[in-house]
């Protein structure tokens, strides 16, 4: 009789254990299905599906709850309260702890392997935490791909706009030349009054200024990879000011030039360095919403030429400062996030380097140094 009872108890125990394993396997299978079917959905929707399955896989499922925490945001079952017992497993992505998965009981239960939890339940929650980690990584990769695609499309549109702008600038040259030519002819007329002559001088001056801006714009938009010349950095800055001055006046920004008089020349592509200056200055303009001062400084030390661009803008936090040269990173609603990446790429191509300092509320300072005797081949 005792032997039969023992066999019955043993069989019942085996059946119970098998039943628990079936519940756990069914939970894992359904979570895998969710991961496949809803991989392009929001994480909230995916987590909701997982949370509905987790309690059912536990031994005492009628008093169990589940919780997923990601980046300090909680997703939990409706019956969640601080339970009597809990089991957690961390969500670690790229070596960084991003959150955890938690299961628990709302009432006291007999102690087993880990509190009232079976060792198989520990294995289950660890496996689910790994599955959730993979789901998060896939979800973030899909979002990053979408962002990258949109930014590439935007960059392509900007390229097209740039080409159109260069074409428009070219077309404007002819009517400007006519205006300039006729104004000079009128000025030669002996019957022109002094007042008209003064007005003609203003037309000629404005036409020459407009023509010079167009020339600089066309030069800026035309990327000549092999055009390496020996030139002074001060000259490139002077050329850049044709594009920058009108905007600085409009936005109440004072440009202060501190240029070394006898700055050595160096071998560079002027268009590339012009891009560096324009991009950094435009960034500074955008940081000075209520006006301010922009310092452009040059000096030379130890076989190096230095360019400093410093503003009195809102500044950049340390967290963002570490990412400003990353491709497609931007804190603005518009733009490609490629401006400073391009700056860094150009500077690096001349074996130069960039130092950046910034304080919130006190502005940002970029210092670029180029080797003087470096001729790019």
Q: Please give the average per-residue pLDDT across 327-343, as a whole number.
A: 64
pLDDT in tens, 222-250: 544 557 889 999 999 988 887 788 788 88
User: What does the longest C-alpha to C-alpha distance in the chain come to?
Assistant: 137
Residues with Cβ within 8 Å of 313's Cβ and at least 6 positions away in sequence, in order, are 284, 286, 287, 288, 289, 292, 363, 364
Residue 297 has pLDDT above 90, yes or no: yes
* Residue 218 to residue 203: CA distance in whole angstroms: 22
Q: Please give the average per-residue pLDDT across 29-40, as a whole number.
A: 79
Which has more confidence, 43 or 18? 43
Residues with Cβ within 8 Å of 229's Cβ and at least 6 positions away in sequence, in order, are 267, 268, 269, 270
pLDDT attached to residue 100: 94
Which has more confidence, 15 or 102? 102
* pLDDT band for position 298 (cuts 50, 70, 90): very high
* pLDDT band for position 161 (cuts 50, 70, 90): low
pLDDT attached to residue 377: 47
pLDDT in tens, 247-264: 888 889 999 999 999 899
Contact between 260 and 333 (Cβ < 8 Å): no
Residue 212 has pLDDT above 60, yes or no: yes
Q: Please give the average per-residue pLDDT across 145-154, as a whole number.
A: 73
* Residue 324 to residue 365: CA distance in whole angstroms: 13
pLDDT attached to residue 8: 47
Domains of the chain: 2-144 (3.30.450.40), 225-371 (3.30.565.10)
In sequence order, the β-bridge partners of residue 103 are 66, 87
pLDDT in tens, 346-356: 888 888 999 99
Q: What is the end-to-end Cα distance of the chain in Å, rounded? A: 97
Residue 107 has pLDDT above 90, yes or no: no
pLDDT attached to residue 254: 93
């Amino acid at each position: 009789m005792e032997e039969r009872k023992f066999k019955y108890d043993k069989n019942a125990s085996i059946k119970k254990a098998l039943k628990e394993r079936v519940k756990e396997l069914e939970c894992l299978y359904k979570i895998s299905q969710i991961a496949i079917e809803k991989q392009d959905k929001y994480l909230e929707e995916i987590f909701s599906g997982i949370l509905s399955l987790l309690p059912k896989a536990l031994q005492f499922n009628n008093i169990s709850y589940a919780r997923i925490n990601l980046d300090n945001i909680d997703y939990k079952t409706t019956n969640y309260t601080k339970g009597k017992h809990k089991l957690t497993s961390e969500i670690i992505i790229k070596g960084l702890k991003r959150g955890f998965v938690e299961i628990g009981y709302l009432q006291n239960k007999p102690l087993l392997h880990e509190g009232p939890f079976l060792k198989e339940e520990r294995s289950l929650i660890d496996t689910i935490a790994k599955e959730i980690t993979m789901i998060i990584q896939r979800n973030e990769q899909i979002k990053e791909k979408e962002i990258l695609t949109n930014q590439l499309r935007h960059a392509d549109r900007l390229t097209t706009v740039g080409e159109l702008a260069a074409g428009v600038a070219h077309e404007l040259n002819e009517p400007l030349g006519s205006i300039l030519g006729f104004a000079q002819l009128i000025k030669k007329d002996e019957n022109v009054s002094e007042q008209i002559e003064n007005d003609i001088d203003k037309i000629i001056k404005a036409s020459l200024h407009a023509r010079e801006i167009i020339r600089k714009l066309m030069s800026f938009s035309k990327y000549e990879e092999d055009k390496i010349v020996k030139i002074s950095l001060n000259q490139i800055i002077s050329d850049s000011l044709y594009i920058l001055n009108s905007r600085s006046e409009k936005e109440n920004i004072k440009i202060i030039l501190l240029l070394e008089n006898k700055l050595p020349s160096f071998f560079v592509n002027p268009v590339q360095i012009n891009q560096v200056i324009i991009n950094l200055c435009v960034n500074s303009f955008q940081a000075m919403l209520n006006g301010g001062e922009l310092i452009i400084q040059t000096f030379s030390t130890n076989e190096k030429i230095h360019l400093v661009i410093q503003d009195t803008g809102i500044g950049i936090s340390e967290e963002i400062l570490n990412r400003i040269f990353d491709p497609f990173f931007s804190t603005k609603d518009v733009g490609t996030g490629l401006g400073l990446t391009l700056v860094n790429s150009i500077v690096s191509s001349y074996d130069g380097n960039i130092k950046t300092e910034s304080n919130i509320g006190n502005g940002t300072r970029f210092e670029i140094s180029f080797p003087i005797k470096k001729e790019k081949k």
